[in-house]
Structure 1
Amino acid sequence: MLHAEPGTGSAFDPASGFVRLMDGLAADPGDVVVTKTSRNAFTTTNLAQHLQRPGRPIS
């Protein structure tokens, strides 16, 4: 899960280049990488739907 605040100019703005998986980590094909834009990961993402899918890997 990533946290992003687009357009803020902060470290969490994707344009800063800091919103990415940590060095040494990579999503495998078929993995889900969720990017949230609020403190609550369920309000601005489709995380709940991914968690309810049987057999679906989450990163």
Structure 2
Amino acid sequence: MTVNMGNIDRGARAVIGVVLILLVFMGPQTPWGWIGIIPLATALVGWCPLYSLLGMNTCGGQRA
């Protein structure tokens, strides 16, 4: 696994993931908020399997 996500992409995914997980505890309190684990995990690892399938790379200079 090589990194295929840039810093802005990773930051946005981390924020979205945390917000979705917080919705489990605050807000509508539905289990659908646990879907936020996916963007949070991809942000922490820096690798997105969908990007690999589509041949995308938001890293800038690095190639996946």
Whose strand proportion is higher, 1 or 2?
1
Q: TM-score range by the shorter chain?
A: under 0.3
- Point out the structure with max Rg over C-alpha: 2
Q: Which has the higher helix share?
A: 2
